[in-house]
Amino acid sequence: MQVIHHAWVGYDFTETLRGEAGITQVPFGNLPFNSHSFFFSSNFYLGLEDDYDAGIKLSWLAQPWDVRLGFFKNDERGGGGTGPERYSFDVIADNDGSAIGEANTLVGRVAYTFGAGGGAATQIGISAMGGQVHDDSGKAGDYRAVAAHLNGDYGRWNLQLQATWYEYDLDSGADRLVMGAYQATYGIPADAMTYTANLAYRLPVSWGPISALTFYFDNSLVTDKADGSKDTVMNVLGLSLEAGPVLAYLDFVSARNQPFIGGTMTGDARDREQRLNLNIGYYF
Protein backbone atom coordinates (compact mmCIF):
# COMPACT_ATOMS: atom_id res chain seq x y z
CA MET A 1 0.00 0.00 0.00
CA GLN A 2 0.99 3.63 -0.40
CA VAL A 3 -0.24 5.93 2.37
CA ILE A 4 0.48 9.33 3.89
CA HIS A 5 2.21 9.07 7.25
CA HIS A 6 2.34 12.81 7.91
CA ALA A 7 1.96 15.95 5.81
CA TRP A 8 1.86 19.25 7.66
CA VAL A 9 3.04 22.83 7.48
CA GLY A 10 4.17 24.68 10.57
CA TYR A 11 5.09 28.08 11.89
CA ASP A 12 7.23 28.97 14.92
CA PHE A 13 5.46 31.93 16.52
CA THR A 14 8.18 32.11 19.19
CA GLU A 15 11.09 29.95 20.29
CA THR A 16 8.66 27.93 22.43
CA LEU A 17 5.34 28.10 20.51
CA ARG A 18 4.75 26.19 17.28
CA GLY A 19 1.62 25.75 15.18
CA GLU A 20 1.02 22.87 12.75
CA ALA A 21 -1.73 22.26 10.21
CA GLY A 22 -2.30 19.13 8.15
CA ILE A 23 -1.88 15.45 8.92
CA THR A 24 0.05 15.57 12.17
CA GLN A 25 0.57 13.44 15.28
CA VAL A 26 -2.21 13.53 17.87
CA PRO A 27 -0.66 14.75 21.18
CA PHE A 28 -1.83 11.99 23.53
CA GLY A 29 0.09 9.99 26.14
CA ASN A 30 3.84 9.48 26.23
CA LEU A 31 5.49 11.13 23.21
CA PRO A 32 6.72 10.53 20.64
CA PHE A 33 5.98 6.85 21.41
CA ASN A 34 4.66 4.95 24.41
CA SER A 35 6.95 2.01 23.59
CA HIS A 36 10.42 1.06 22.34
CA SER A 37 9.73 -1.87 20.00
CA PHE A 38 8.74 -2.17 16.36
CA PHE A 39 5.33 -3.46 17.50
CA PHE A 40 4.60 -0.43 19.73
CA SER A 41 2.21 -1.08 22.65
CA SER A 42 -1.36 -2.37 22.51
CA ASN A 43 -2.45 1.30 22.63
CA PHE A 44 -1.21 1.70 19.05
CA TYR A 45 -3.80 -0.82 17.87
CA LEU A 46 -6.53 1.15 19.66
CA GLY A 47 -5.57 4.42 17.93
CA LEU A 48 -4.07 5.77 21.16
CA GLU A 49 -0.36 5.82 20.24
CA ASP A 50 1.45 7.37 17.26
CA ASP A 51 -1.89 8.34 15.70
CA TYR A 52 -1.95 10.84 12.83
CA ASP A 53 -5.11 12.78 11.92
CA ALA A 54 -6.03 15.83 9.87
CA GLY A 55 -6.29 19.07 11.83
CA ILE A 56 -4.41 21.84 13.60
CA LYS A 57 -2.13 21.73 16.66
CA LEU A 58 -0.38 24.18 18.97
CA SER A 59 2.67 23.12 21.00
CA TRP A 60 4.12 25.24 23.81
CA LEU A 61 7.45 23.69 24.80
CA ALA A 62 8.98 25.82 27.55
CA GLN A 63 10.91 23.64 29.98
CA PRO A 64 9.83 22.30 32.37
CA TRP A 65 6.36 22.60 30.76
CA ASP A 66 5.12 20.78 27.68
CA VAL A 67 1.58 21.84 26.69
CA ARG A 68 -0.13 20.77 23.45
CA LEU A 69 -3.62 21.39 22.15
CA GLY A 70 -5.13 20.13 18.91
CA PHE A 71 -8.36 20.05 16.94
CA PHE A 72 -8.70 17.29 14.35
CA LYS A 73 -11.53 17.49 11.85
CA ASN A 74 -11.26 13.82 10.89
CA ASP A 75 -8.79 10.99 10.47
CA GLU A 76 -6.07 11.10 7.81
CA ARG A 77 -8.30 9.42 5.21
CA GLY A 78 -11.24 11.78 5.65
CA GLY A 79 -13.57 9.90 7.97
CA GLY A 80 -16.11 7.09 7.58
CA GLY A 81 -16.19 4.75 4.60
CA THR A 82 -12.53 5.24 3.63
CA GLY A 83 -11.34 1.74 4.53
CA PRO A 84 -8.26 0.29 6.28
CA GLU A 85 -5.58 1.44 3.84
CA ARG A 86 -3.73 3.74 6.26
CA TYR A 87 -0.78 3.92 8.67
CA SER A 88 -2.63 4.97 11.84
CA PHE A 89 -5.28 2.76 13.39
CA ASP A 90 -8.73 4.36 13.35
CA VAL A 91 -12.29 3.18 13.93
CA ILE A 92 -13.83 2.46 10.51
CA ALA A 93 -17.07 0.52 11.24
CA ASP A 94 -19.42 -0.55 14.00
CA ASN A 95 -20.01 -4.17 14.90
CA ASP A 96 -22.69 -4.47 12.20
CA GLY A 97 -20.24 -3.40 9.50
CA SER A 98 -21.73 0.08 8.96
CA ALA A 99 -19.02 2.60 8.01
CA ILE A 100 -18.18 5.19 10.67
CA GLY A 101 -15.25 7.50 11.36
CA GLU A 102 -13.80 10.00 13.81
CA ALA A 103 -14.77 13.68 13.55
CA ASN A 104 -14.31 16.99 15.42
CA THR A 105 -11.82 15.73 18.00
CA LEU A 106 -10.37 18.08 20.62
CA VAL A 107 -7.15 16.91 22.31
CA GLY A 108 -5.17 18.37 25.19
CA ARG A 109 -1.91 17.24 26.80
CA VAL A 110 -0.09 18.83 29.76
CA ALA A 111 3.24 17.53 31.08
CA TYR A 112 5.86 18.73 33.54
CA THR A 113 9.50 17.56 33.75
CA PHE A 114 11.34 17.26 37.06
CA GLY A 115 15.14 17.36 37.11
CA ALA A 116 15.66 18.47 33.50
CA GLY A 117 19.31 19.16 32.75
CA GLY A 118 20.65 16.75 35.36
CA GLY A 119 21.53 13.09 35.18
CA ALA A 120 17.88 12.15 35.62
CA ALA A 121 14.65 13.65 34.31
CA THR A 122 11.07 12.54 34.95
CA GLN A 123 8.16 13.84 32.91
CA ILE A 124 4.67 13.29 34.28
CA GLY A 125 1.53 14.34 32.47
CA ILE A 126 -2.12 13.91 31.69
CA SER A 127 -3.87 13.74 28.32
CA ALA A 128 -7.52 13.94 27.34
CA MET A 129 -9.46 13.81 24.10
CA GLY A 130 -13.08 13.89 23.05
CA GLY A 131 -14.83 13.87 19.72
CA GLN A 132 -17.66 12.62 17.58
CA VAL A 133 -18.28 9.52 15.51
CA HIS A 134 -19.97 10.10 12.13
CA ASP A 135 -21.60 7.82 9.57
CA ASP A 136 -22.94 8.63 6.10
CA SER A 137 -26.03 10.32 7.56
CA GLY A 138 -24.24 12.44 10.17
CA LYS A 139 -23.39 12.13 13.85
CA ALA A 140 -23.56 8.54 15.10
CA GLY A 141 -22.10 8.91 18.60
CA ASP A 142 -19.22 10.25 20.68
CA TYR A 143 -15.88 9.03 21.95
CA ARG A 144 -13.42 10.07 24.63
CA ALA A 145 -10.16 9.01 26.27
CA VAL A 146 -7.97 10.08 29.19
CA ALA A 147 -4.47 9.03 30.23
CA ALA A 148 -1.93 9.58 32.99
CA HIS A 149 1.66 9.02 31.94
CA LEU A 150 5.27 9.05 33.10
CA ASN A 151 8.44 9.07 30.98
CA GLY A 152 11.70 8.97 32.91
CA ASP A 153 15.32 9.12 31.72
CA TYR A 154 17.84 7.95 34.34
CA GLY A 155 21.29 7.84 32.83
CA ARG A 156 21.10 5.18 30.12
CA TRP A 157 17.77 3.85 31.39
CA ASN A 158 14.32 4.88 30.21
CA LEU A 159 11.08 4.05 32.05
CA GLN A 160 7.60 4.57 30.61
CA LEU A 161 4.35 4.08 32.52
CA GLN A 162 0.84 4.89 31.30
CA ALA A 163 -2.75 4.19 32.35
CA THR A 164 -5.46 4.93 29.77
CA TRP A 165 -9.25 4.74 29.64
CA TYR A 166 -11.25 5.10 26.43
CA GLU A 167 -14.94 4.85 25.48
CA TYR A 168 -16.96 4.90 22.26
CA ASP A 169 -20.60 5.73 22.95
CA LEU A 170 -22.48 4.92 19.73
CA ASP A 171 -26.14 5.69 19.13
CA SER A 172 -26.54 2.07 18.03
CA GLY A 173 -25.44 0.87 21.47
CA ALA A 174 -22.74 -1.38 19.96
CA ASP A 175 -20.26 -2.78 22.48
CA ARG A 176 -17.74 -3.62 19.76
CA LEU A 177 -16.18 -1.64 16.90
CA VAL A 178 -13.95 -2.36 13.91
CA MET A 179 -10.48 -0.79 13.66
CA GLY A 180 -8.45 -0.66 10.49
CA ALA A 181 -4.93 0.04 9.20
CA TYR A 182 -2.30 -1.68 7.05
CA GLN A 183 -5.22 -3.00 4.92
CA ALA A 184 -6.32 -5.15 7.87
CA THR A 185 -9.34 -4.99 10.18
CA TYR A 186 -10.16 -6.41 13.61
CA GLY A 187 -12.59 -5.88 16.47
CA ILE A 188 -12.10 -3.85 19.64
CA PRO A 189 -14.35 -3.37 22.70
CA ALA A 190 -16.27 -0.10 22.80
CA ASP A 191 -14.53 0.82 26.04
CA ALA A 192 -11.70 -0.55 28.14
CA MET A 193 -8.75 0.26 30.42
CA THR A 194 -5.15 -0.12 29.25
CA TYR A 195 -1.92 -0.22 31.21
CA THR A 196 1.62 -0.11 29.82
CA ALA A 197 5.00 -0.46 31.55
CA ASN A 198 8.21 -0.30 29.51
CA LEU A 199 11.88 -0.36 30.43
CA ALA A 200 14.84 0.23 28.10
CA TYR A 201 18.63 0.53 28.32
CA ARG A 202 20.56 2.39 25.60
CA LEU A 203 24.21 1.41 25.16
CA PRO A 204 26.42 3.68 23.00
CA VAL A 205 28.95 1.66 21.00
CA SER A 206 31.50 2.25 18.27
CA TRP A 207 31.38 -0.89 16.14
CA GLY A 208 32.02 0.32 12.62
CA PRO A 209 28.80 2.01 11.49
CA ILE A 210 26.88 0.87 14.60
CA SER A 211 26.53 3.72 17.09
CA ALA A 212 24.05 2.39 19.68
CA LEU A 213 22.14 -0.65 20.92
CA THR A 214 18.91 -0.38 22.90
CA PHE A 215 17.62 -3.31 24.95
CA TYR A 216 13.96 -3.15 25.99
CA PHE A 217 11.09 -4.97 27.64
CA ASP A 218 7.66 -3.50 26.78
CA ASN A 219 4.43 -4.70 28.43
CA SER A 220 0.76 -3.99 27.67
CA LEU A 221 -2.55 -4.98 29.27
CA VAL A 222 -6.05 -4.16 27.97
CA THR A 223 -8.71 -5.07 30.52
CA ASP A 224 -12.22 -4.25 31.80
CA LYS A 225 -13.58 -4.60 28.27
CA ALA A 226 -17.15 -3.50 27.60
CA ASP A 227 -18.00 -6.61 25.56
CA GLY A 228 -16.83 -9.00 28.28
CA SER A 229 -14.04 -10.49 26.18
CA LYS A 230 -10.84 -11.66 27.82
CA ASP A 231 -7.85 -9.43 28.53
CA THR A 232 -5.33 -8.54 25.86
CA VAL A 233 -1.75 -9.07 27.03
CA MET A 234 1.42 -8.32 25.06
CA ASN A 235 5.06 -8.61 26.20
CA VAL A 236 7.90 -7.63 23.87
CA LEU A 237 11.53 -8.43 24.61
CA GLY A 238 13.83 -6.89 22.05
CA LEU A 239 16.87 -5.08 20.76
CA SER A 240 17.18 -2.13 18.39
CA LEU A 241 20.34 -1.15 16.53
CA GLU A 242 21.31 2.28 15.18
CA ALA A 243 23.78 2.54 12.29
CA GLY A 244 23.63 5.88 10.51
CA PRO A 245 20.41 5.93 8.46
CA VAL A 246 19.69 2.28 9.32
CA LEU A 247 17.47 1.38 12.28
CA ALA A 248 16.86 -2.32 12.94
CA TYR A 249 14.59 -4.07 15.45
CA LEU A 250 14.69 -7.65 16.67
CA ASP A 251 11.56 -8.41 18.71
CA PHE A 252 10.30 -11.51 20.47
CA VAL A 253 6.59 -10.99 21.09
CA SER A 254 4.42 -13.11 23.37
CA ALA A 255 0.75 -12.16 23.46
CA ARG A 256 -2.86 -13.24 23.61
CA ASN A 257 -5.89 -11.53 22.06
CA GLN A 258 -3.52 -9.10 20.35
CA PRO A 259 -3.91 -8.06 16.68
CA PHE A 260 -1.09 -9.18 14.35
CA ILE A 261 0.02 -11.77 16.93
CA GLY A 262 -2.62 -14.31 15.99
CA GLY A 263 -5.52 -12.65 17.80
CA THR A 264 -8.02 -9.83 18.04
CA MET A 265 -8.89 -7.36 20.82
CA THR A 266 -12.31 -9.02 21.19
CA GLY A 267 -10.95 -12.56 21.36
CA ASP A 268 -11.36 -15.10 24.15
CA ALA A 269 -8.05 -16.94 23.79
CA ARG A 270 -6.43 -18.32 26.94
CA ASP A 271 -3.19 -19.42 25.29
CA ARG A 272 -0.42 -17.14 24.10
CA GLU A 273 0.91 -16.75 20.59
CA GLN A 274 4.57 -15.95 19.89
CA ARG A 275 6.28 -14.10 17.07
CA LEU A 276 9.92 -13.42 16.29
CA ASN A 277 10.25 -10.34 14.12
CA LEU A 278 13.23 -8.70 12.42
CA ASN A 279 12.74 -5.29 10.82
CA ILE A 280 15.47 -3.33 9.05
CA GLY A 281 14.64 0.18 7.91
CA TYR A 282 16.61 2.77 5.92
CA TYR A 283 15.43 6.29 6.76
CA PHE A 284 16.08 9.27 4.50
Which residue type occupies 225?
A: K
End-to-end CA distance of the chain: 19
pLDDT at 118 over 70: no
2, 18, 55 from 9: Cα distances, Å: 21, 11, 11
Q: What is the model's pLDDT at position 81?
A: 74
Full strand arrangement of the beta sheet holding 176-181: 90-94, 176-181, 184-189
Q: What is the model's pLDDT at position 115?
A: 87
Q: What is the DSSP string of 215-279?
A: EEEEEEEEES-TT-PPPEEEEEEEEEEEETTEEEEEEEEEEES-BTTTB-TT----S-EEEEEEE
What does the pLDDT look like over 141-161, one tens digit per residue?
Answer: 999 999 999 999 999 999 999
What does the pLDDT look like over 213-230, one tens digit per residue?
Answer: 999 999 999 999 999 999
Largest CA distance in the chain: 59
Could you give the domains of the chain? 7-200 (2.40.160)
- d(CA 215, CA 200) in angstroms, rounded, equals 5
Which residue type occupies 194?
A: T
Q: What is the model's pLDDT at position 96?
A: 84
35, 80, 103, 196, 272 from 171: Cα distances, Å: 34, 15, 15, 30, 35
150, 152, 214 from 158: Cα distances, Å: 10, 6, 10
DSSP class of residue 50 equals: S
Residues 6+ apart with CB under 8 A from 26: 51, 52, 53, 70, 72, 105, 107, 129
CA angle 1, 276, 193 (to 5 degrees): 75
What does the pLDDT look like over 77-117, one tens digit per residue?
Answer: 887 778 899 999 999 998 888 899 999 999 999 999 998 76
Residue in 183, 251, 186 with CA at minimum distance from that of residue 215:
251
pLDDT at 133 over 70: yes
Q: What is the model's pLDDT at position 196?
A: 98
- d(CA 152, CA 141) in angstroms, rounded, equals 37
Q: Across 77-190, where does the E strand assignment appear?
A: 90-94, 101-114, 120-135, 138-154, 157-170, 176-181, 184-189
